[in-house]
Amino acid sequence: MEAMEAGDILVVLIGAALIVGGVFQIIKRFIFLSTSCTLRVPGTILDKERSERQQFTDSSKRVTYYLTYQYFVDGVEYSKRRSIGKRQLKVTGNPGEITIFYDPSKPKRHYVSELKFRMLLTLTLIAIGVILLYYSFGNVILL
């Protein structure tokens, strides 16, 4: 069995990072946040922003969407500006209103029920990580 080259090690590290990051996102959303964020308050969308950035003159523009919202818990205002996907926000009720689930012991910890979790993207990244690890270790084992 031969030693792994620097390129192989990089591929293994990237694969492992994709798997760990994806699993962490799933655990954070579905286990930690859903069990700790048990109280609900209405939130208000303050701003939806679209930002374009071009890194190089010959490259295409990168579009990023931001959502700024606020909510109140026991008279204290909490606000957040976060980047979101183009189709991630799904408001079904009144436009401009969202539902916030927050942690009663730490109201700053919250999630927005109208922001769809990017499960397909997360699972795709985990799958890519698994493929990278499989082929990296498969080549080492076969040699």
State pLDDT tens for residues 73-121: 999 999 999 888 776 666 655 678 899 999 999 999 888 877 766 566 6
Distances (CA, A) of 92 to 34, 96, 114, 120: 21, 10, 8, 21
Mean pLDDT in residue range 37-54: 88
| Residues 88, 83: Cα–Cα separation, whole Å | 10
Burial letters 27-61, b for 16+ CB under 10 A, else e: eeeeeebeebbeeebebebeeeeeeeeeeeeeeee
Alpha carbons within 13 A on the beta-carbon side of 40: 7
141 pLDDT tier (thresholds 50, 70, 90)? very low
pTM reported for the whole predicted model = 0.61
> pLDDT higher for 39 or 24?
39
> pLDDT higher for 29 or 113?
113
Amino acid (one-letter) located at 16: A
